[in-house]
Amino acid sequence: MHSTGDVRVEERDDPKIIESTDAVIRLTATCICGSDLWPYRGVEPADHLLMGHEYVGVVEEVGADVKTIKVGDFVVGSFVISDNTCEICRAGYQSKCVHAEFVHGGIGTQAERARIPQADGTLVATPGQPEPELIPSLLAASDVLGTGWFGAVAAEAGPGKTVAVVGDGAVGLMAVLAAKQLGAERIIAMSRHADRQELARFYGATDIVTERGDEGIAKIKELTNGLGAHSVVEAVGTQQATMQAIGATRGGGHVGYVGVNYDVKIPGIDLFFAGIHFHGGPAPVRRFLPELIQLIWDRKIDPGKVFDLTLPLDRAAEGYQAMDERRAVKVMLTF
């Protein structure tokens, strides 16, 4: 990304092994993330920024110290590099690994090939070579599925719970899927778009709320005997969405926030008197990858339906525009 709104596909040098813990992969598919729209819209700086952090592909080369990944493996990788062995990783927060490095910006996987540091801790091999129809779902596991899953886990979604999901983008839809898989009794998707409402219902939503802000909060409370939801996933990152999530949560309930929340300011007194748990941040996708890959491999979940536009890599700029204008939920890029 040369600058705000200026996306170009250019030739780069082929990646090479630099550290003995590296792997080089040939990507099978990649995609555009909602968070990629922040630099596209000028919220983050964009000066010849290497784009892309969601990826699946085949290992072409490994460093001498890579033990768990081998040449020829089909792999899914997290959007944050991690060694998966440090104390923080072992506690399940690989996105805060002592070696954490965001793939976006420094590496960039909207590309034909990529060098992945800390390959043993970042990449997970699939049980075999996947059928083509599984590729979109495995790609979703690299970020949006894992992020939505973390949002639902952070919100402590589970049996007997009512879960509300603020946001009907790819991550919000994946949070609906996760809440369903985690056994939630009732799942309320907050959405104003018919196509996204349909997908939310496919993934397990039992109710749709179209209202926003205070009206949205009131509707959630109306649906929950005036109490609010046990668990709320905030998957947008705006001021309104954050305050809506806090207001829709019952006393003692849990908010899992996974929207990238630039410029959000939470009044301390509002949070204090809400009496809720508030947990989130960059998702430790690596924690969940083995389980998610197996669920996809066994065809128990189909997160790949979240991709509603597929373009070749050389038309990436069109994909950014489509997502920016909300003509697409999520764009997959192929080669």
Residue 151 has pLDDT above 80, yes or no: yes
Residue 93 has pLDDT above 80, yes or no: yes
Q: What is the pLDDT of residue 150?
A: 98
Contact 260, 35 (CB under 8 A): yes
Q: What is the pLDDT of residue 119?
A: 98
Q: What's the mean per-residue pLDDT of the chain? A: 97
Tokens found for residue 141:
């596991």
Residue 105 has pLDDT above 90, yes or no: no
Q: What is the pLDDT of residues 117-137, one digit of tens each?
A: 999 999 999 999 999 999 999
Q: What is the pLDDT of residue 31?
A: 98
Q: What is the pLDDT of residues 168-196, one digit of tens each?
A: 999 999 999 999 999 999 999 999 999 99
Q: What is the pLDDT of residues 31-87, one digit of tens each?
A: 999 999 999 999 888 999 999 999 999 999 999 999 999 999 999 999 999 999 999
User: Which residues lie closer than 8 Å to 220 by C-beta, 6 or more apart?
Assistant: 164, 188, 209, 228, 229, 248
Give CA–CA dist 150/117, Å, rounded. Answer: 23
Q: What is the pLDDT of residue 230?
A: 98
Give CA–CA dist 311/317, Å, rounded. Answer: 10
Q: What is the pLDDT of residues 223-247, one digit of tens each?
A: 999 999 999 999 999 999 999 999 9
Q: What is the pLDDT of residue 44?
A: 87
Residue 104 has pLDDT above 90, yes or no: no
Domains and CATH numbers, the chain: 23-143+284-334 (3.90.180.10), 149-280 (3.40.50.720)
Q: What is the pLDDT of residues 244-303, one digit of tens each?
A: 999 999 999 999 999 999 889 999 999 999 999 999 999 999 999 999 999 999 999 999
Of 18-32, 36-50, 157-171, 191-205, which range is least confident? 36-50
- Note the pTM of the prediction, 2 decimals: 0.96
Give CA–CA dist 291/285, Å, rounded. Answer: 11
